[in-house]
Every structure is written in C-alpha cells, then in structure tokens.
A and B are shown apart, each in its own frame.
Chain A
Amino acid sequence: MKRIFAIVSGVVLSIIALVAVDARLSASSTAAASSATEIKIDNFSFTPPTITIKAGTEVRWTNRDDIPHTVVADDKSFKSKALDTDEQFSFTFAKPGTYNYFCSIHPKMTAKIVVQ
C-alpha cells in the first residue's frame, strides 16, 4: 500500500512539474512576442524593406496578402513555410551581419535585416 502511494504521489509530482514547465514556456513566449520586431507582408512587399536590429532580437513577419508568401534568406540560413493570409513566421537573429531575404514564390519581393 505504501508502495502504491509512493508511485501515485510520484505521478502527481511529475504532473505538477510538467504544468510548471508549461507555464514558464508560455510566459517566455508571451514576453518574446511583445518584444519582437514586426514586418508586414502586404501588397507583394515586405514593410519596412530594411530594418536594423540588435543581435538577439526576434523578428516576426505577418502575411496580410490574399496570396501566400514565404520568408527565405538568400543564403537559406532561415526559411519559412508558405504563409497563408494572417500566418506568421518568427526568427531570432543571434549574430550581427546583413541578412538579405526574399519571397521564394515571388522572388521580386526582396528585403533585408541589418543585425548590429
């Protein structure tokens, strides 16, 4: 009986632990969401077309067009799936540098991120 209790309490404890981890995760993603730099995809263009950010900044793209677009680095260092209307893609730029990117579906759409 004692042994069964031990197992049950162990399970309960791990559930509590899981919930705690879950809460932390969602808290951190909310915090990141509010600090992310936003880029709008609208009328077949990235707005703003050039942004300068600090290393470690998260950038979030939102597609406002009726047509799907992608966000793909020229050197393929980041690549979104096809984003349908209102879908988003986020990427955190850890290292300084200039990152040119484009929409691989409509390659005339080009833009750049400068990370300092």
Chain B
Amino acid sequence: MKDEKQDVIQHDHNHDGIDRRGFLKCMVWAGTGAFCVMKGGVLRSYSLSRLSEVPSGSGGELNFVQISDSHMGFNKPANPDVAATLKAAIDKINALPTKPEFILHTGDISHLSKPEEFDTVQQLLTSASTKDVFYVPGEHDVLGDDGQQFRDRFGKGSRGAGWYSFDKSGVHFIGLVNVMNLKAGGLGSLGTEQLEWMEKDVKHLSKSTPIVVFAHIPLWSVYPDWGWGTDDSAQALSYLKKFGSVTVLNGHIHQTMQKVEGNVTFHTAASTAFPQPKPGSAPSPGPMKVPAEQLRSLLGVTDVNYLSGKHALAVVDSTLE
C-alpha cells in the first residue's frame, strides 16, 4: 500500500497536548508505518514515501530510535540474511535528518541466545551514528540461562532480571523485562518484584514528567491467543495513571501498531529481521514468507521525537526500503 496523503488534525479536547483522534487516525496506517509529529497540539502524519518532506525543524528536544527483533542467527526462507537487513536499518538511522541521541533495542536481539549472535549485533551497531544503545531482552535472548548472558552483556546497573530506568532531557525511561518465568497457558509476565520496583521508581516523579516504558512483549492485549500481551501489564500501567504523557514501546509482534488509551500511547515496532502475520490472519504467528522484493517494505525502524512542553512524543515508523 502506498499512501501519499498527509493529514493535519486539530483536536485537543482535553487541552493536554494529546490529539486522541489524530492518533487514532494514525493507527489506520498501522502495518504500512507512519511518521507522526506532534507540534503545539497539532498532529501531522506523513506517509513513509514522503519522509523526505518532513521539515528538519521537527526534531524537538530529544530524538531517539527504536529497533527491535533483529533475530540474529535466523536463516530460514522468510529472511536468509538478517545481518543485511539490520545493516539496512542502521543505514536508515544514519540517514535521519536529526541524529538520534540513542537507540532502544526492544529485544530478540539474537535468535537462539548464542554468543556469536549477540556479538554480530553489537558489532554491526558500532556503525550507527549513536553509540548509546539501551536493551531489554526478548524471549529469544534468555534461552537456557535465564538471561545471565544477556545481563552480563547489556544489563550493567540493571536490577532483578534486567530492568532499569534512566532520564534523558526530562523524559523518564523505564526498561522492563516481561519474558522470564512464563507460566503455562499465560502471556508475558513482569512479576511481583519488578512491579514493586516500578511503583517505587515512578513515585517521586512529578506528574508532568513524560514517561517512556519499553519492553519486548506488548504491554497491551494485541492478540492474547498468540501470546501477544502481558498478564500483569494493567498493574504496571496503574502506577502511571497520574502522568500526563505515557508512551509504551514494544516489539515481539514484528509489525507496527498503535493504540491510545487515556494518557497512554502504545506502539509496537517492526522487526529488522522478518515480518509476522496480522493477528489471527494465519494459523500461527510464525515468520511470514513474502517475495524477496517485498521483504524490506515490511521491516523497519522507529524514530521518536520529544518536544518539551508539548506532553507528547511523536512516533515515526519507517521501512527499510
């Protein structure tokens, strides 16, 4: 699908800088990716093919990029060269008009938790325009050792299974782990210890602090039949009710989706490795095989801009084409 349209939507009924109707309109584009910039309560969304027309001044106070699901080591027909598509993602990052301050990797760095898979991703990311990468693990990164290797490599200063928080330009970031100790028949899980930590972590923050939560498995029920949700995410989100702006960034489902619920904007990023089917559209969520010439249109990176005082983050998806 090639959308050429550009929407300018002006609805800010709650006077909180969040244009809910605008975000909902953005959701219609889910799957093809959209570039959304929030400025002065006006949401602008651009189709990917017009990314070059985005004004360079739209950068804001903070720019960062989310990548996800590199699955290094995967070599099946859905994408026999996941290193090449990760490289393409890095090229995309390096071509952004505004250099991002850091990269968030929302998990499934590796396919089988093998040291050489982690090595390759770390090596490739050294060519990115920013050297700061914050990781949370996917279920593929904690195989066989309950995430010990992941924490040894990426979890310095983290707690428990690898969760942590940090502040950048007035935005509070919380990296959560919801891929450990999964119960039979269940979904992703945060667990009591992590929830208690999170409650304390946000308690002292003023309600005007923008919050970004990032974790591998979606913290909203995308499609529980395929395990695309987190059992105790409602508890985690209840700690964030007082905040005016909450953005939740996830991976795992290998496609972009957005949803707005009250003060919270949910967003999932595309994979850099292989696409997965839309919820319920296939017998299982296994890798989707598409013609080689279409593959890169279904993979991607997410660019996020934060404009101070506007209470919202603009979330941008672009494909690897």
Binding site for B on A (CB under 8 A): 43-45, 65-68, 74, 81-82, 84-85, 100-102, 104-108, 110
Contact = CB atoms under 8 A, between A and B. Distances in A.
A110 B185 CA distance: 6
Interface string B173-189: 00000000011111100
A68 B140 contact: yes
In order of increasing CB-CB distance, the 10 nearest A-B pairs are: A102-B184, A44-B284, A43-B284, A66-B76, A82-B143, A107-B182, A108-B227, A105-B139, A43-B283, A107-B186
Interface residues of B, number: 26
B225 interface: yes
Given A66-B78, A85-B76, A45 B144 contact: no
Given A85-B76, A110-B185, A44 B144 contact: no
A102 B185 contact: yes
B283 A82 contact: no
Nearest to A67: B286
Given A68-B143, A81-B144, A100-B184, A106 B287 contact: no
Contacts of B185: 102, 107-108, 110
A43 B288 CA distance: 12
A107 B284 contact: no
A74 B76 contact: no
Contacts of B226: 44, 108
Nearest to B111: A68
Q: Is the interface of A mostly helix, strand, loop or mixed?
A: loop
Contacts of B112: 68, 82, 84
A45 B285 CA distance: 11
B227 A82 contact: no
B26 to A, nearest CB: 29
14 contacts: A43-B283, A43-B286, A44-B285, A45-B284, A66-B74, A68-B111, A82-B112, A82-B113, A100-B184, A101-B184, A107-B183, A107-B184, A108-B185, A110-B185
A102 B181 CA distance: 12
A100 B185 CA distance: 11
A2 B140 CA distance: 62
Given A66-B76, A82-B144, A105-B143, A110 B184 contact: yes
Contacts of A45: 284
Given A105-B143, A107-B227, A108-B227, A66 B184 contact: no
B225 A108 contact: yes
Contacts of B187: 107-108
Contacts of B76: 66, 85
Interface in B204-248: 224-227
A105 B140 CA distance: 8
A15 B133 CA distance: 56
A101 B184 CA distance: 7
A49 to B, nearest CB: 12
Interface string B36-76: 00000000000000000000000000000000000000101
A43 B285 CA distance: 8
A74 to B, nearest CB: 5
Nearest to A45: B284
Interface in B155-191: 182-187
